[in-house]
Amino acid sequence: MVTLYRFTQRELRLLARQKADWLNPLLFFVIVLSLFPLGVGPEPNLLRIMAPGIVWIAALLSVLLAAERLFKDDYRNGVIEQLVAAQQPLLSFVLAKLITNWLSTGLPLVLLSPLVALLLNIDQASLVAMVFTLLLGTPLLSLLSVMGAALTVSADKGGILLALLILPLYIPLLIFASAAIEAASMALPYHGQLAIMLAMLLCAMALIPLAVISALKLNVS
Amino acid sequence: MRAILTVVDSQRLDIKPQPFHVSTAQPLLEGRELCCIRQDRVLFEQQNLVLRAGELLQVAGKNGAGKSSLLRILAGLAQPDEGAVYYRQQTLAQAGAGYAADLCYIGHQSGIHEQLTALENVSFWRTASGVAAADDFTLLAKLGLAGLEDIPCRMLSAGQQRRVALARLWFVKRQLWILDEPFTALDQGAIAMLQQHFLQHLQSGGAIVLTTHQPLQITYEALTTLELVYRW
Amino acid sequence: MFKWLHPYAKPETVYHLCGRLYPWLMALAVLLLLLGNIWGLAFTPPDYQQGDSYRIIHIHVPSAIMSMGTYSAMAIAAFTALVWQVKVAQWSVLALAPVGAVYTAIALITGMAWGKPMWGTWWVWDARLTSELILLFLYLGVIALSGAFSDRQTGAKAASLLAVIGVINLPVIHFSVEWWNTLHQGASITKFAKPSIDPSMLWPLLISILAFKILMLALLCLRLRNAILQNEQHRPWVKALAGGH
């Protein structure tokens, strides 16, 4: 526990020093959102219909973007190699990365959602649903992106490859999250979708840290 | 799976008895008929080595002869293509976390994050090695880094960064050190201090494997040199 | 318990085993392919609804089934590779991935070709076609990842891990796509393949499925042999093989 706390502290400190790492993806999120009305036209009803999909596609792209650099520095300067050799601290290290990744990319998206609702003409019921889906969904996005980043950390061509690997895995989340918002906009219950998202999140929380650890191990071997 | 189970062990580390358990009859680390192939080139094969407590093993050889690969195999990071590494008569797979808990590996890249200060880097490795926090200012001052504790490491010279990395050797309580090119970028004074520190570690029953191109200045009693021949 | 399996993890043994199996498997695959397809295309009655256009089923269904079959074979190999560190299993993953990707592509293309006369359009976001498309992405991901590392061994291991991750995700993806599909459009159009099939059409179809399966095994043998030679080229037994003949 102490190890996890210290490591999380270190990651947060690094984020505070490299602000571009988490600010740029957020900026990207807002810009992508504002591109959609420019592309499909400013018709409020059209935007309202498309909003769930737009928000979630923008969210998963920006989380993916943020994850790409996650392990790069620590890989390049040998921290990961030496942690793998030491074995014990590795799990705490991975968990710290996951927590800070969510804090720096997922949580801001939740906080930004009222702004998004304004931009895309989303009503209040949908906004509530959107906040819930983002709260449940962004940790899962972080988990999957961190796994992708760990898999490709020593690869020669990172960025595009990461997207190719991880985007297909996002599909279930995208489906259920946008369906929940859509249901809310039609005043239908959406507990079912949220429950499924929670189930997916819990499974991922159990399995993905292990996958990340083995991905890091094979990348330094 | 193992990682989860061993989190609990991290508290147990600092109460390891010091000096280390020494048995001259039993080799501490042993490589039997190791073979390593990288990118279709055989770096070495049928390579045997034995390291006992209190011994220093210097791995020498030209660039590209496979020194780092051998060290990575010994540290359990890479698998040998043939043969096996034994730690206290057990293969590394059998020894598992027990081996990792006795090992301090500092690789070619020093494990220093450029955005963090010397102090933060040292305390990161303290946490990672399961050692309680202590007075890092004194330690860094001893390593000639007084006044540089709070500067991000990217501002430090290569030699100073290396000193920050090697600071670990002064607080980890691990019997086996595996060091890849520890003297790189260090000045004469630092090299002498490091070698003196090696001597202390060996005398208290530790063991060291290192690679270096420079001749060692101190004559160690139990020094073995392993010359890896560059092969095509 | 699995002691008898151990010799089969040795690359040399596998190389020779594949060499012995390959001609038989390939001959059998070609024979069955010809039999199934000629029977299916020329000697079965036309469908009462779809006329002759349904005959593409003899390519479409076997390739669709084997696109998933190959993925599960690949995932089993990947699991073996990760847990027991068997190198031959790693190379099998890389050997199977392109085969599966091509099967998936065939299933997609024939599915589109079948969709044109049936649905009047080349592409419908039908649950099965969409799942198949995502499966193709997963295959391409495995192939891309295996080639992304300067060290071939790391690439093989990473691809194995991704294959295992993918197989855990596949059911989730499949069911969510199916659910999404029923949500957004009635299930009516996807139902037409469901009704029971006449035995006169079933037999050639089963033969074609078997043919695709054996073809996959034959291609696995062929590609695995190549991979073994490539990865073991400096071993004495390969040198003896190359020098001796």
pLDDT at A52: 87
Give the homologous superfamily in CATH for domain B2-228: P-loop containing nucleotide triphosphate hydrolases (3.40.50.300)
- Tens digit of each residue's pLDDT (9 = 90 or more) over C5-64: 666 778 888 898 999 999 999 999 999 999 988 888 888 777 767 777 778 888 888 999
Interface contact B79-C151, CB threshold 8 A = no
Please name which of A89, A74, A213, A65 lies closest in space to residue A141, comparing C-alpha atoms: A65
Comparing C162 with C192, the larger pLDDT belongs to C162
Domain hosting A122: range is 2-220
- Mean pLDDT value across chain C: 85
Q: How are strands ordered across the β-sheet holding B41-51?
A: B41-51, B29-38, B82-87, B90-91
Q: Give the span between the Cα atoms of A167 and A187, in whole angstroms.
A: 30
**Domain residue limits, chain B:** 2-228
CATH code, domain with C167: 1.20.120
Q: What three-state secondary structure class fits B91? A: strand
pLDDT at C150: 85
Interface contact B39-C151, CB threshold 8 A = yes
Interface contact A165-C169, CB threshold 8 A = no
Please name which of A106, A82, A107, A77 lies closest in space to residue A93, comparing C-alpha atoms: A82
The total domain count for chain A is 1
- Tens digit of each residue's pLDDT (9 = 90 or more) over B152-200: 998 889 999 999 999 989 888 888 999 998 888 888 889 989 999 998 8
Q: Taking the mean position of all CA atoms in its chain, how far away is CA B74?
A: 10
Give chain C positions within 8 Å (CB) of A214: 82, 161
H or E stretch at B105: strand B103-106
Residue B8: pLDDT band with limits 50, 70, 90: very low
The strand pairing partners of B117, in sequence order, are: B152
∠ Cα A204 A209 A211 (to 5°): 90
Neighbouring C-beta atoms of residue A34, cutoff 10 Å: 13
Please name which of B65, B67, B104 lies closest in space to residue B198, comparing C-alpha atoms: B104
Q: Give the span between the Cα atoms of A193 and A180, in whole angstroms.
A: 6
Domain hosting C128: range is 20-43+53-235
Q: How many helices (H) and strands (E) does chain B have?
A: 8, 9
Residue B5 has pLDDT above 60, yes or no: no
Interface contacts (B, C; CB < 8 Å):
10
- Tens digit of each residue's pLDDT (9 = 90 or more) over C93-147: 999 999 999 999 999 999 888 888 877 888 888 888 888 999 999 999 999 999 8
Give chain C positions within 8 Å (CB) of B38: 151
Taking a C-beta distance cutoff of 8 angstroms, is the pair A95, A209 a contact? yes
C138 to chain A, closest Cα gap in Å: 7
Residue B63 has pLDDT above 50, yes or no: yes
Residue A216 has pLDDT above 90, yes or no: yes
Structure tokens at C158: 């990473």
The total domain count for chain C is 1
By a Cβ cutoff of 8 Å, what residues of chain C touch chain A? Answer: 82, 134, 137-138, 140-141, 144-145, 148-150, 153-154, 157-158, 161-162, 165-166, 168-169, 172-173, 176-177, 179-180, 183
The strand pairing partners of B227, in sequence order, are: B60
Q: Say what the ipTM of the complex is.
A: 0.88
Taking a C-beta distance cutoff of 8 angstroms, is the pair A199, C135 a contact? no
Is position C165 within any domain?
A: yes
- Tens digit of each residue's pLDDT (9 = 90 or more) over A97-108: 999 999 999 999
Range C148-153 average pLDDT? 86
> Can you say whether residue A67 is alpha, beta or left, with left for phi > 0 and alpha for psi between -120 and 50 degrees?
alpha
Please name which of A189, A164, A191 lies closest in space to residue A64, comparing C-alpha atoms: A164
| Percentage of chain C modeled with pLDDT above 90 | 40
pLDDT at C192: 47
Interface contact A77-B110, CB threshold 8 A = yes
* Secondary structure letter of residue C43 according to DSSP: S
Q: What three-state secondary structure class fits A95? A: helix
